[in-house]
Amino acid sequence: MAKPDKNKLRLSSNLDKLIDELIRDAVLETGYPIDVLGIILEFLECISNDGRISAGTRHSIVLKEDGSLVSWGYDGYKQVSDTPKGSGFVAVAAGHHYSVALKEDGTLVSWGLDANNQVSGTPKGSGFVNVAAGFYCSVALKEDRTLVSWGFDGYKQVSGTPEGSGFVAVSAGQFHTVALKEDGTLVSWGRNYYNHVVSDTPRGSGFVAVSAGRTHSVALKEDGSLVSWGYDGYKRVSGTPEGSGFVAVSAGFFHSVALKEDGILVSWGNDDNRVSATPEGSGFVAVSAGEAHSVALKENGTLISWGYDGDSRVSNTPKIK
């Protein structure tokens, strides 16, 4: 598996605590020896590290090793120029002309387009461990494993947010959201595009990661295989790669891209250089799919973007190493 340098992993102390709790629960419930659970923890650390890079609709953002942020692409709502300065950030998510970041003290910071209070409605206080940005709404995971959503609620993607605890990951799409529970099951809510993207959410357990796109979603199973559902235009569902060996996945507007354990990338769905221009070779450790472009991080700390280059979202990819 192509794993990031553990010394360079910048997980928040709250997220560390959440993972520790999951490990402890597993020890109590299964009796597995600690060394086996250590291997599980390494895998969780790897798939939890996707907060380092995020491709939005027309801009992208990266979290640097020193905890600072760099944005590039379309700046019509100052989603690039208003990127917070300084360090102390541990995760980031880019939405539709806005971004939201998680700080190491467990607080959230948003900036950019505020048409639906997706910026001004950002929750205050601490205790957050992860965050996801959708089209006009965002959702965050708290250290008590509950979810908090804010922004546009036209399809109840805010008011319909599941209550209770037990969540370990979440992803926001255009007008729907999907969350992963600690028992490995999935929960979706919001707009049920084409009577598929919410109602066709896979049943059963065994899931370890999930990503919501525009009108489809894709999840990673513990056996390293992928499952997609929702609208199948451009074969973004039926074209999902078969087999195992995947360790991360990201759903864009009309395409998806997945990372394999050998560090190579696989894309499918609508092309226009989203798929055919996917970088070859290995050494990748994280990837994020946006509206018409994608960005990936290599183990040597370099970034590579591909796809549609409007607003210089590809050609202006920063050299951060």
Along the 321 residues of the chain, how does pLDDT read in single tens digits?
A: 233 333 333 344 454 555 566 555 554 555 544 444 444 444 444 444 468 999 999 999 999 999 999 999 999 999 999 999 999 999 999 999 999 999 999 999 999 999 999 999 999 999 999 999 999 999 999 999 999 999 999 999 999 999 999 999 999 999 999 999 999 999 999 999 989 999 999 999 999 999 999 999 999 999 999 999 999 999 999 999 999 999 999 999 999 999 999 999 999 999 999 999 999 999 999 999 999 999 999 999 999 999 999 999 999 999 987
Query: CA 264: distance to chain centroid?
Result: 18
**Residue 113 covered by a domain:** yes
d(CA 284, CA 278): 12
User: Contact, 112 vs 79, CB < 8 A?
Assistant: yes
Domain assignment of residue 279, given as a range: 6-312
Q: Is 321 part of any domain?
A: no
28, 48, 143, 215, 310 from 52: Cα distances, Å: 32, 9, 19, 24, 23
- Nearby residues of 211 by Cβ (< 8 Å), 6 or more positions away: 171, 178, 217, 218, 219, 249, 250, 251, 256, 289
Q: Is residue 157 in some structural domain? A: yes
In a domain, 318, yes or no: no
Beta bridge partners of 230: 216
Total structural domains within the chain: 1
User: How many residues belong to the chain?
Assistant: 321
> Strand pairing partners for 210?
219
**According to the model, what pLDDT value does residue 59 have?**
98
How far, in Å, CA of 240 to CA of 146, rounded?
30
Q: Which helix (DSSP H) or strand (DSSP E) does residue 170 occupy?
A: strand 167-172
Q: Is residue 319 part of a domain?
A: no
Could you tell me which of 265, 168, 176 has the C-alpha nearest to residue 213?
Answer: 176
Place of tokens 């020193």: 66
10 Å Cβ neighbour count for 11?
20
Q: Are 287 and 303 in contact (CB under 8 A)?
A: no
Q: What's the rounded Cα separation, in Å, for the pair 143 and 19?
A: 10
- CA gap 80, 64 in Å, rounded: 15
Please report, for the domain that includes residue 228, its CATH number: 2.130.10.30
Give the list of residues 6+ apart from residue 277 with CB closer than 8 angstroms, or none: 306, 307
Q: Report yes or no on 320 lying in a domain.
A: no
Q: Which pLDDT value is given to residue 270?
A: 98
Question: Is 104 within a domain?
Answer: yes
| Beta-bridge partners for 108 | 102
**Predicted TM-score (pTM) of this structure:** 0.87
Q: How high is the pLDDT of residue 17?
A: 56
The pLDDT value recorded for residue 20 is: 61
Distance separating alpha carbons of residues 136 and 138, to the nearest angstrom: 7
Whether residue 133 is contained in a domain is answered as: yes
Rg (CA), the chain: 18
* Torsion, CA 3, CA 9, CA 15, CA 16, rounded to 10: 90
